[in-house]
Structure 1
Amino acid sequence: MFSANVRRVLAGQNRSLQGNISLQPVQAPLLQFGQVVRSLFIQTESTPNPESIKFLPGKTVLDVEEGGEVGNGFYCTRQDKDEIARSPLAKLIFAVEGVKSVYLGQDFVTVTKYAEGSWGHIRTPVFGAIMDHYASGKPALSAVAEVTDTTIFDDDSEVVALVKEILEARIRPAVQEDGGDIRYVDYDEETGIVKVRLAGSCVGCPSSSVTLKNGVENMLMHYIEEVTAVEAIEDESDDGNNSADVMVEQTKSGDSSNDEDKKKMKTYEERLAAAGIPFSD
């Protein structure tokens, strides 16, 4: 799901992301825009998930002016017909056989293939789809809902608001570095379990469960004492199972020494400050 570098970011270490990132520049064929001839230079970047590749066109993909919620991106699978219809770019990419899901970020597109597919047969057609999109002049997304998974509502509890803030400000940016995304789903006040959904290169990545616990779960449990565990669920369309696949479930019972050392935050503002997130009304 995430690289070792992203896990270090989630652990609070202020280091630059490093690793074996393969940039593969591809000079696209010349595109004709009326009387103006332009070229599109697309790069690809590997992700920790061998089934996913980041495509970087060197241009904005999701623009706020188009109504896009850049922080959250746009994710859809081949089964999400209504969602695909909202994105001219995703529609072109899904025309390529073997594409399982598409994630649109601010300046990149993450394409995930089915395990049985071959990048040798998929990569070039995806390049073509992205080039055709920019040649069309259409927006990547025709409309995006104003409410996102981390929108804080008036009836949200303090714990839920904190979870959403930390996911949005601390965790999501690190996850998106690897071409993926993580979205808030639910918080159970009785058990203290936070449920999230993975997207982009995170879906099906071999290191998902380990990183989710060591990165996401540890961070939320550190700053929010009410959180006891984080569970990641996958859509039925992603894994073919009849029930959600629980990837991580780790309680913190018995960790009394950690509890004793933990500073007790009295207010919502203090807890946000401890997580390094500026508070604003």
Structure 2
Amino acid sequence: MFLRGSKSVWPKIAGQRRFLHVKTVSTPNENALKFVSSDGELLQERGKPSVEIRNTDEKLIRHSPLAHRIFTQCPGVESLMVGDDFVTVNRDELVHWNQIKNGVIDVLTQYLASGQDALTPEFYSVHEGEVGYDVNVPKFEYTEDEQEISDMIEELIKTRIRPAIMDDGGDIQYRGYDPVTGTVYLKLQGACKSCSSSEVTLKHGIESMLKHYIEEVEEVVQILDPEEQVALKEFEKLEQKLADKSH
């Protein structure tokens, strides 16, 4: 959430007008831009998980005035991710950034100036209910040694991997470690999620680092949203049809 206006953050001096600045930062994903506030924070507390909202997430949008305004005023925005001091916007690839960028900057500037909350107090509970239990990630019970390995993985992601990904307008969530297979389950968000190089980042970047420092790690698997799973299955079907026709 944006910090509410206060004397310590935004001094109210008679006759003084506060000029706010929102800058854009390119990401490895040409369909994603990172909008950074240099004057205030988007979330009330640093370190909270970034939240991703798609333009089809009606329940989440109802609990995010910021998302509602961006989706309403900036046609062509497919999703956004709210971080500590930035918002990453993913566009429809058929829409040019010139049609979106200024509108997003205007919305963010207005929110920073007003001190309004970007998310309602109920947002996180609604978000948790919407995300729900992921059937693709089993719940693990660890021995003391296995718990130590899981903690090491989570700490490495938090201190070495997550900051680099957030610099590129994305985020990453640790979803668990399978001690039997050595599989680490991760969830990519924001710019990294739909980037064409996300698989390279996952396998050659994240997986390589985890395997280097923690010998028990054998593989890293990305968790997909239900919509992404359906799209992937349809793509695999199309590939199979094309392969069958070529024979």
TM-score, reference length from structure 1: 0.64
Q: Which residue of 1 aligns with 2:245?
A: none
* Identity over aligned pairs, percent: 37
Q: Give structure 2 stretches of 5+ with no counterpart.
A: 1-12, 129-140, 237-247
Name the structure 2 match of 1:75.
Answer: 52
Change (3 A) 1:185 1:98: same
Does residue 116 of structure 2 align to residue 138 of structure 1? Answer: yes
Matched, 1:93 2:73: no
Kindly indicate whether residue 55 of structure 2 is the aligned counterpart of residue 55 of structure 1: no
Which SS does the other structure have where 1:213 is aligned? Answer: helix
Distance 1:238 1:80, change over 3 A: farther
- Change in 2 beyond 3 A, CA 1:167/1:91: same
Confirm or deny that 1:45 pairs with 2:25. Answer: yes
1:244 to 1:60, Cα distance in 2 relative to 1, 3 A: farther
Give the distance between the partners of 1:49 and 1:193, measured in 2 at CA: 27
Separation of aligned partners in 2, 1:177 and 1:71: 16
* 3-state SS, counterpart of residue 47 of structure 2: coil
2:215 to 210, 220, 225: 225
**CA–CA distance in 2 between the matches of 1:162 and 1:229?**
15
Report if the CA contact (8 A) 2:51-2:81 is conserved.
yes
Instruction: Work out the number of aligned pairs and report it.
Output: 208
Question: In angstroms, what is the RMSD of aligned CA positions?
Answer: 3.3
Q: Decide whether the 8 Å contact of 1:102 with 1:111 is kept in 2.
A: yes
Contact kept, 8 Å, 1:62 with 1:70, in 2: the verdict is no
Question: Offset of 1:128 from its aligned partner?
Answer: 1.8
Selected match of 1:163 from 153, 163, 167 = 153
Whether 2:90 is the aligned partner of 1:112: answer yes
In 2, the alpha carbon distance for the partners of 1:130 and 1:165 equals: 32
Q: Aligned partners of 1:245, 1:42: CA distance in 2, in Å?
A: 38
Aligned equivalent of 2:138 = none
Determine helix, strand or coil for the equivalent of 1:89: helix
User: Which residue of the partner structure matches residue 202 of structure 1?
Assistant: 192
- In 2, the alpha carbon distance for the partners of 1:240 and 1:43 equals 35
* Aligned equivalents of 2:161, 2:212: Cα separation in 1: 13
The TM-score with structure 2 as length reference comes to: 0.72
Residues 94-129 of structure 1: CA deviation (Å, up to 9, x unaligned): 222111111122221111112222111111211121
Counterpart CA distance in 1 for 2:229 and 2:26 is: 22
Q: CA offsets, 1:41-72, max 9 Å, x none?
A: 22111111000111122122334xx3x45353
Decide which structure has greater helix share: 2
Unaligned runs of at least 5 residues, structure 1: 1-32, 149-154, 247-281
- Following TM superposition, by how much is the alpha carbon of 1:82 offset from its aligned partner in structure 2, in angstroms? 2.8
Deviation at 1:241, TM superposition (A): 1.6
Aligned to 2:167: 177
Which AA in structure 1 matches 2:54?
Answer: T
SS in 1 for 2:193: coil
1:245 CA displacement: 9.4
